[in-house]
């Protein structure tokens, strides 16, 4: 609510009660009333904080998270190793923190990029229809039909220096990280694209869109202002499911050797490594599993809160 | 009369889907060579059965559909891609279904001010002030601005839709059956609102309706549409007192009236023919009570009556 708007409203005393608020402030107000959503936002913020404190803690405890010490494998929690050590004698807590940085970032970036591609293609296909629609949907079918594993192996084997990147970058950990983000984003947008296209088809002929077009609204305006907010529910559901899947998918790819390379931890590869140790050192599987679980749950409730914020008809909880 | 809007020989045809194995591609003429004018501050009512092309014609005037032939002029300027913005300001539309007409995810203040936002004609503060003024003008409670459409009844929603149409201070509102989805008691309120606004703002209406009772209250002139063609066009008094076309007479006879008992002398028989295969010559001949051989062979011209030059009808036997 801007001051100017309040001024205009004050011109008549009867109107002073209610100055019009922007749609985003109304949405934020609705989101604030969604307890689970707010709690999830707080939990995710804490998780991020947890992961970011890895480096300071490493300095403070004077440890190296990647240095193996075969004499102290599977140590129980102690003053130096707060959560004990893993199968390589490395500090479990620090690895969880560093692993979280990778996992959360991969989950977020791959979902945002893949979701962005899927939403834009679905919107364009559904709204404009015709040949463009057929072309984009055949493209989507094509990507769905591609056998995933051989494709991933090809993508992972790409020599980045041939694509114009410096060999320094190509062999760094960052390259592995971006490689995995791009790979996941490139294969994971199809479901969203189909979903968004179908939802767009169902709203694009509504009268409120005709009214906007009669006032001279262009396609971009209609898609951003009317179509997107009205199809946001299925998009959010799909995206929140994607985040959890991507975090686990990253571990599968890393396990196959494409992407995050072993000394660098991620929740996914930590969970994978611990699979064989479930009987001997169950904690090593439980910690990353728990963190992934909390992340996925929090993201889902955050999604609920966002749906509630966008849909004025939904009930308060 | 000074024409604000003139519809000149407008036709709209829809191409049917091509058949799998060749064959002729049928085309459906929803509106066929329609011409009419609307004066400043005048209400032209468009009446007809469903499927007569009323809504399609309304969409053409509102710029939602390009006519396949003919043109629409606003004060002499042809409406088209070149002056889309002008048309968007000058011509607004109100729809039949107040539930689908408002974006359920948009607060009322944004809905009402939306035409201004699209046209970039006002600052945020000006838009809000305008929305607040319009809310009062259409008789909604002041606290409506921050609420969402689902919190309102059908009649109130129609008021919101009217407020939105009024936002850019248009010269013409296309009202596409704005009352037929409402309760009868609400209908009269909204009808009065349309009248009050017209008096205040000197607006013109293209009022699309199949309810002759409503038309009798609001219209200055009435055009009767049948199978996409105007078959009669006259001042309201003339249409209701001396309908010239048998179809118009049948429509009037089917109007329920209090106190006159049940008489249905000339109810129309049959259904409206498919616009894919309209009857030859006079399109009304298969259902006409006065049909003669000439009706099947020669299309009647749409021309003034001898007695009243302002009264046009397309019938060989117009009275």
- Whether residue B144 has pLDDT greater than 70: yes
Alpha-carbon distance B188 to nearest alpha carbon in chain A (angstroms): 23
Three-class secondary structure of residue A85 per DSSP: strand
User: What per-residue confidence (pLDDT) applies to A274?
Assistant: 81
Which has the higher per-residue pLDDT, A244 or B74? B74
Segment B55-78 shows an average pLDDT of: 90
Record: contact B145-A18, CB cut-off 8 A: yes
- Class of residue A250 by CB neighbours under 10 A (exposed 0-12, middle 13-18, buried 19+): buried
**What residue segments make up the domains of chain A, in order of their start?**
26-62+82-310
Q: What confidence tens digit (pLDDT) does each residue in B186-241 have? A: 999 999 999 999 999 889 999 999 888 889 999 999 999 999 999 999 999 999 99
User: What per-residue confidence (pLDDT) applies to A5?
Assistant: 41
User: What per-residue confidence (pLDDT) applies to B14?
Assistant: 85
- Whether residue B263 has pLDDT greater than 60: no
Distance CA A16, CA A8 (A): 9
Instruction: Kindly report whether the global pTM for this prediction surpasses the value 0.90.
Output: no
| A/B interface, count of CB pairs below 8 Å | 122
* Among B residues 84-103, those touching chain A with beta carbons less than 8 Å apart: 84-85, 87-89, 91-93, 95, 97, 100-103
- Whether residue A12 has pLDDT greater than 60: no
Q: For residue A169, give both structure tokens.
A: 């970058």
Rg (CA), chain B: 21
- Whether residue A13 has pLDDT greater than 60: no
Supply the CATH classification number for the domain A26-62+82-310: 1.10.3720.10
Q: Give the contacts of B37 (CB within 8 A, at least 6 positions apart).
A: B1, B3, B5, B6, B7, B44
Running DSSP on this structure, what letter comes out for residue A196? H
Q: Measured between beta carbons, which residues in chain B are less than 8 angstroms from residue A9? A: 128-129, 132
Three-class secondary structure of residue A272 per DSSP: helix
Q: What confidence tens digit (pLDDT) does each residue in A108-148 have? A: 999 999 999 999 999 999 999 989 999 999 999 999 888 87
Q: Measured between beta carbons, which residues in chain A are less than 8 angstroms from residue B136? A: 15
Record: contact B107-A26, CB cut-off 8 A: yes
Q: Which of A2, A211, A230 sits opposite B95 (nearest CB)?
A: A211
Q: What confidence tens digit (pLDDT) does each residue in A186-217 have? A: 888 999 999 999 999 999 989 999 999 999 88
> Which of A43-47, B179-183, B256-260 is predicted least confidently?
B256-260
User: What per-residue confidence (pLDDT) applies to B142?
Assistant: 83
Question: Beta strands B302-304 and B312-314: pairing type?
Answer: antiparallel
User: What per-residue confidence (pLDDT) applies to A156?
Assistant: 73
- Whether residue A7 has pLDDT greater than 50: no
Distance CA B178, CA B208 (A): 8
Q: For residue A37, give both structure tokens.
A: 């959503």
- Whether residue B184 has pLDDT greater than 60: yes
**Shortest CA distance to B132 belongs to which of B124, B122, B123, B142?**
B142
Distance CA B44, CA B35 (A): 12
Q: What confidence tens digit (pLDDT) does each residue in A229-272 have? A: 999 888 988 898 888 788 878 877 776 777 677 778 888 888 88
Q: Write out the DSSP string of chain B.
A: --EEEEEEEEEEEEEPPPPTT-----EEEEEEEEEEEEETT-EEEEE--TTSSHHHHHHHHTTSS--SEEEEEETTEEPSSTTHHHHHHHEEEE-S-TTTSS-TTS-HHHHHHHHHHHHT-S-HHHHHHHHHHHHHHTT--GGGTTS-GGGS-HHHHHHHHHHHHHTT--SEEEEESTTTTS-HHHHHHHHHHHHHHHHHHT-EEEEEES-HHHHHHH-SEEEEEETTEEEEEEEHHHHHHS--SHHHHHHHHTS--TTS----TTPPPS-PPPTTSPPSSSTTGGG-TT--HHHHHSPPPEEE-SS-TT-EEE-TT--
- Whether residue A166 has pLDDT greater than 90: no
Q: Give the contacts of A87 (CB within 8 A, at least 6 positions apart).
A: A73, A74, A273, A274, A277, A281, A284
Segment B37-65 shows an average pLDDT of: 91
User: For chain A, how far is it from start to end, CA to CA, in angstroms?
Assistant: 26
Which has the higher per-residue pLDDT, A299 or A158? A299
> Which of A12-21, A177-186, B58-67 is predicted least confidently?
A12-21
Segment A55-76 shows an average pLDDT of: 78
Segment B269-297 shows an average pLDDT of: 85
Distance CA B47, CA B310 (A): 18
* Among B residues 131-170, those touching chain A with beta carbons less than 8 Å apart: 131-132, 136, 142-143, 145-146, 148, 150, 161, 164-165, 168
User: What per-residue confidence (pLDDT) applies to A115?
Assistant: 94
| Greatest CA separation for chain A | 80
Q: What confidence tens digit (pLDDT) does each residue in B300-318 have? A: 989 898 888 889 999 988 7
Distance CA A99, CA A47 (A): 12
Spatial contact of B175 and B206, defined as CB atoms under 8 Å apart: yes
Q: Give the contacts of B295 (CB within 8 A, at least 6 positions apart).
A: B281, B282, B284, B285, B288, B316
Q: Measured between beta carbons, which residues in chain B are less than 8 angstroms from residue A18? A: 142-143, 145-146
User: What per-residue confidence (pLDDT) applies to A113?
Assistant: 94
Q: Give the contacts of A165 (CB within 8 A, at least 6 positions apart).
A: A175
Q: Which of A207, A216, A311 sits opposite B85 (nearest CB)?
A: A216
B11 touches chain A (CB under 8 A): no
Q: What confidence tens digit (pLDDT) does each residue in B83-104 have? A: 777 888 899 999 999 989 999 9
Distance CA A146, CA A183 (A): 13
Q: Report chain A's mean pLDDT, rounded to a whole number.
A: 83
């Amino acid at each position: 609510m801007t001051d100017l708007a309040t001024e205009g409203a004050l011109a008549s005393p009867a109107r002073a009660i209610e100055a019009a608020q922007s749609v985003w402030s109304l949405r934020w107000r609705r989101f604030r009333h969604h307890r689970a959503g707010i709690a999830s936002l707080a939990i995710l913020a804490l998780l991020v904080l947890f992961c970011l404190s890895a480096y300071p803690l490493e300095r403070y405890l004077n440890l190296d998270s990647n240095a193996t010490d075969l004499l102290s494998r599977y140590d129980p929690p102690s003053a130096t190793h707060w959560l004990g050590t893993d199968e390589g004698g490395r500090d479990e807590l620090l690895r969880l923190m560093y692993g979280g940085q990778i996992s959360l970032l991969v989950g977020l970036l791959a979902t945002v990029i893949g979701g962005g591609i899927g939403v834009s293609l679905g919107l364009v296909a559904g709204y404009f229809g015709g040949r463009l629609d057929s072309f984009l949907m055949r493209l989507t079918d094509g990507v769905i039909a591609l056998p995933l594993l051989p494709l991933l192996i090809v993508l992972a084997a790409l020599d980045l220096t041939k694509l114009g990147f410096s060999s320094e970058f190509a062999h760094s950990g960052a390259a592995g990280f971006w490689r995995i983000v791009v790979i996941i984003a490139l294969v994971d947008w199809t479901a969203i694209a189909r979903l968004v296209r179908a939802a767009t088809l169902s709203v694009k002929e509504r009268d409120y869109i005709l009214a906007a077009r009669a006032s001279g609204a262009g396609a971009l305006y209609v898609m951003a202002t009317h179509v997107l907010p009205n199809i946001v529910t299925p998009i959010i559901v799909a995206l929140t499911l994607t985040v959890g899947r991507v975090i686990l998918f990253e571990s599968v790819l890393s396990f196959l050797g494409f992407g995050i390379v072993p000394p660098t931890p991620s929740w996914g590869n930590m969970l994978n490594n611990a699979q064989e140790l479930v009987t001997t050192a169950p904690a090593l599987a439980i910690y990353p599993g728990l963190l992934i679980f909390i992340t996925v749950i929090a993201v889902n409730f955050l999604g609920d809160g966002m749906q509630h914020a966008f849909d004025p008809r939904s009930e308060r909880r | 009369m000074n024409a604000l809007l003139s519809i000149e020989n407008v036709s709209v045809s829809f191409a049917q889907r091509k058949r799998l194995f060749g064959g002729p591609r049928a085309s459906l003429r929803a509106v066929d060579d329609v011409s009419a004018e609307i004066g400043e501050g005048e209400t032209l009512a468009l009446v007809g059965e469903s499927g007569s092309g009323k809504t399609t014609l309304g969409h053409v005037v509102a710029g939602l559909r390009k006519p396949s032939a003919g043109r629409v002029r606003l004060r002499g300027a042809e409406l088209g891609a070149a002056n889309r913005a002008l048309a968007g300001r000058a011509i607004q539309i109100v729809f039949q279904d107040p539930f689908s007409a408002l974006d359920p995810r948009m607060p009322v203040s944004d809905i009402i001010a939306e035409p201004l936002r699209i046209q970039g004609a006002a600052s945020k503060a000006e838009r809000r002030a305008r929305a607040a003024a319009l809310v009062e003008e259409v008789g909604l409670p002041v606290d409506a601005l921050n609420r969402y459409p689902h919190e309102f009844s059908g009649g109130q929603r129609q008021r919101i839709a009217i407020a939105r149409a009024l936002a850019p201070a248009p010269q013409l509102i296309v009202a596409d059956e704005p009352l037929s989805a409402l309760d009868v008691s609400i209908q009269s309120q909204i009808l009065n609102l349309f009248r009050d606004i017209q008096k205040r703002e000197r607006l013109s209406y293209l009022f699309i309706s199949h309810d002759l009772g409503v038309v009798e209250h609001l219209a200055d002139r009435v055009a009767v549409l049948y199978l996409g063609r105007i078959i009669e066009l006259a001042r309201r008094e003339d249409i209701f007192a001396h309908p010239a076309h048998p179809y118009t007479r049948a429509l009037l006879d089917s109007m329920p009236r209090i106190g006159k008992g049940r008489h249905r002398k000339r109810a129309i028989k049959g259904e409206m023919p498919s616009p894919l295969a309209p009857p030859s010559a006079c399109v009304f001949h298969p259902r006409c009570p006065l049909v003669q051989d000439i009706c099947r062979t020669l299309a009647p011209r749409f021309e003034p009556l001898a007695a009243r030059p302002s009264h046009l009808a397309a019938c060989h036997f117009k009275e």
